[in-house]
Amino acid sequence: MTLRALAPSGVPFSLSDIVHGLLAAMGGERSMARFRDQVADRFGKRHVRFFSSGRGAVSAALNALHTRFPARDEVVIPAYTSFSVASAVVHAGFKVRLYDVDPETLGPDAQSLKRALSDRSLCLMVCHLFGCPADMDTARTMAGEHGVPLFDDAAQAMGAAWKGRLAGTFGDIGLFSLSRGKNISAVDGGILVTNEDWLAEALDALAPEPPSAKEKVKLWLTALALCFLLHPRLYWIPNSLPFLKLGESHFDPDFGVAALTPFQAGLGIRMLRRLDRINAGRRRVAVQWMNALKGRKFPSLPEGGDSVWLRLPLLDSGAGEVMKEYGVVPSYPSGLHEIEALRPHLAGSGSYPGAERLARSLVTLPTQGYVTEQDIEHVARVLGGGTA
Ligand X SMILES: Cc1ncc(COP(=O)(O)O)c(C=O)c1O
Residues forming the site for ligand X (CB under 6 A):
53-55, 58, 81-82, 84-85, 127, 153, 155-156, 177, 179, 190
Number of residue whose CB is nearest ligand X = 54
**Taking the complex as a whole, how short is the minimal distance between the CB of residue 378 and ligand X, in angstroms?**
28
Taking the least distance from each CB to ligand X, the nearer of 82 and 317 is: 82
Q: In what order do the strands lie in the sheet with 305-306?
A: 165-166, 161-162, 305-306
Taking the least distance from each CB to ligand X, the nearer of 53 and 317 is: 53
**Taking the complex as a whole, how short is the minimal distance between the CB of residue 23 and ligand X, in angstroms?**
24
**Taking the complex as a whole, how short is the minimal distance between the CB of residue 61 and ligand X, in angstroms?**
11
Taking the least distance from each CB to ligand X, the nearer of 156 and 364 is: 156
The alpha carbon dihedral of 249, 124, 299, 159 has a sign of negative
Per DSSP, the three-state class of 108 is strand
The DSSP symbol for 351 reads -
Cβ 281 vs Cβ 366: under 8 Å: no
Taking the least distance from each CB to ligand X, the nearer of 339 and 376 is: 339
Taking the least distance from each CB to ligand X, the nearer of 163 and 180 is: 180
Taking the least distance from each CB to ligand X, the nearer of 211 and 385 is: 211
**Taking the complex as a whole, how short is the minimal distance between the CB of residue 182 and ligand X, in angstroms?**
7
Query: Rounded to whole angstroms, how far apart are CA atoms 110 and 196?
Result: 27
* Inter-CA distances, 257 with 7, 175, 251, 297, 356, Å: 27, 15, 16, 39, 31
**Residue 373 identity:** E
Residue 117 neighbours by CB under 8 Å, 6+ apart: 76, 124, 142, 143, 145, 146, 148
**Taking the complex as a whole, how short is the minimal distance between the CB of residue 161 and ligand X, in angstroms?**
17
**Taking the complex as a whole, how short is the minimal distance between the CB of residue 188 and ligand X, in angstroms?**
6
